[in-house]
Amino acid sequence: MQAAVLYGKEDLRLEMVERPTAAPGEIIVRVGAALTCGTDLKVYRRGYHAMMLKPPMPFGHELAGTVAEAGDGAKFKLGDRVVALNSAPCDQCYWCNKNQQNLCEDLLFNNGAYADYIRIPARIVEKNTLTVPEDLPFEYAALTEPLACVIRGLEESNAQPGDLMVVIGAGPIGLMFMHAAELAGVEVIAVVKRDDQIETARIFGAKHVVQIADGVDTVAEVRKLTPGSRGVDIAIEAVATPMTWEWAVDMVRKGGMVNFFGGPPSGTRVQLDTNRLHYGDITLKASFHHTPATSRTAFELIKSGRFKCAEYITGRAGLADVPAIFKKMMVRSAEGVKDIKTAVFPAGM
């Protein structure tokens, strides 16, 4: 079978590899659709991910497809349509027992979505693989993993109907935050960089848009959009730079919540006004990954038809195009290309 294999920094190759077989409890999924992802781009740029992927290794983690083989005792059968998440917790360690499954000390990750077939480990089959209805396209179902991370971020931020939230960043995750927040009854201010992102942010639910520009005080412009310039109830940082982390803190009101969702490189430092944090009673929070519960919440939202799945799929490609797609993704921001996610169809479009 064909598979995209990451060998190192910006070294992604399409190769012929042996098709996997299913051990007890496992399934082999024929990939119906796999999606490009900002995390995959970050891994492609750096050449590794300390927790999820060490090269050389099959690449990609957002997928849905059809069960092509089921091992003994597996909970799915041949022909079932499924979406398999990219991880599953052990449910036995200290963190799992503290209801923090995303921090499981034995969190099992899985990669290899850009391929004809992918093996789903037994633990993920049991805990984090869901049945896809016949009328739901695979590329829509594959949105479950990133949306599950966003849903957890919203839950951890205690977002309530009527809250005012700023989302800094209009990449795929930032747009998901805007849309999920809007559907939850939250009023959204989007902070974007490029001209094309203004329209896109509005499509996904932003009521107000502030564009970053030379000579513009972005923090002040956001605060102007809040009653009495007091600041937002919740600030979501989805860019992962020290500057935007600091902006998020400066944009939130007294008693507000900041969620540092974007993950900067190891060793990154920021400077914060400790006096304002203390006397303003501001909560700082970071959200990482998803849990089986938020995966199910996200999937139910996708199945409901309320989530704008079609608008997220801005490109369609075959498996042979994957290496070129990631090369293009490295420069698309500079070119102002309106691209959110590309759906890869190994069996053809």
Which helix (H) or strand (E) covers residue 122, if one does? helix 122-128
> Per residue in 139-149, is it b (16+ CB within 10 Å) or e — as a string?
bbbbbbbbbbb
pLDDT digits (tens, 9 = 90+) for 320-330: 999 999 999 98
349 has a pLDDT exceeding 80:
no
pLDDT at 264: 86
Residue reference for tokens 């989302």: 167
- Helix 172-183 × helix 195-203 angle, to 10°: 30
User: Cα 297–103–303 angle (5° rounding)?
Assistant: 15
Task: State yes or no: cis peptide before 56, omega within 30 of 0.
Answer: yes
Determine the residue type at 252.
Answer: V
Distances (CA, A) of 7 to 38, 72, 78, 237, 254: 18, 33, 32, 31, 47
Q: What is the pLDDT of residues 280-323, one digit of tens each?
A: 999 999 999 999 999 999 999 999 999 999 999 999 999 999 99
How would residue 337 be classed by pLDDT, with cut points 50, 70 and 90? Answer: low
Among 44-58, 152-166, 205-219, whose mean pLDDT is lowest? Answer: 44-58
Dig out the tokens for 329 from the structure: 């993704």
Closest to 255 measured CA to CA, from 146, 163, 335: 163
6, 42 Cβ separation under 8 angstroms: no
Q: What percent of the chain has pLDDT over 90?
A: 90
At residue 203, the pLDDT reads 97
Is the pTM of the predicted complex or chain greater than 0.85? yes
pLDDT of residue 262: 92
Q: Quick: pLDDT tens for 231-245.
A: 999 999 999 999 999
| pLDDT classification of 207: cutoffs 50, 70, 90 | very high
Dihedral sign of CA atoms 120, 124, 125, 131 in order: negative
Which pLDDT band holds residue 39 (cuts at 50, 70, 90)?
confident
What is the Cα–Cα distance from 289 to 30, expressed in whole angstroms? 25
Q: How far is CA 254 from CA 60, 155, 168, 271, 273, in A?
A: 41, 20, 19, 18, 13
Q: What percent of the chain has pLDDT over 70?
A: 97
Separation in Å, CA 144 to CA 77, 124, 130, 203? 21, 14, 10, 20
Banded model confidence at residue 50, pLDDT cuts 50, 70, 90: low
Cβ–Cβ contacts within 10 Å for residue 222, how many?
26
- pLDDT of 36 > 80? The answer is yes
Look at residue 334 in the predicted model and tell me its pLDDT.
52
Res 332 pLDDT > 70: no
Per-residue pLDDT at 268: 93
Give SS3 for 14.
Answer: strand
> How many other β-carbons are positioned within 10 Å of the β-carbon of residue 199?
11
C-alpha 10/C-alpha 48 separation (Å) is 10
Top-tier CATH class for 158-285: alpha beta
Sheet holding 164-168, edge to edge: 208-211, 187-192, 164-168, 232-237, 252-260, 283-285
Give me the pLDDT at residue 46, please. 81
pLDDT at 227: 97
Q: Residue 17: pLDDT above 70?
A: yes
Sign of CA dihedral 100, 104, 105, 111: negative
C-alpha distances out from residue 65 to 113, 142, 251, 326, Å: 10, 9, 42, 22
Whether the pLDDT of residue 136 is over 70: the answer is: yes
pLDDT score of 247: 98
335 has a pLDDT exceeding 60 = no
Top-tier CATH class for 2-147+290-345: alpha beta
pLDDT value for 45? 86
Q: What is the pLDDT of residue 339?
A: 82
Mean pLDDT over each residue of the chain, to the nearest integer: 95
What digits encode the pLDDT tens for the residues 209-267? Answer: 999 999 999 999 999 999 999 999 999 999 999 999 999 999 999 999 999 999 888 89
Task: State which amino acid sits at residue 169.
Answer: G
Q: What pLDDT score was predicted for residue 330?
A: 87
Quote the Cα angle for 42-124-2, to 5°: 60
The tokens describing 45, both together, are 């740029």
Query: Which run of H or of E encompasses 201?
Result: helix 195-203
- Has residue 175 got a pLDDT over 60? yes
Nearest Cα neighbor of 11 from 55, 60, 69 is 55
- Looking at residue 331, its pLDDT comes to 81
Q: Are 128 and 107 in contact (CB under 8 A)?
A: no
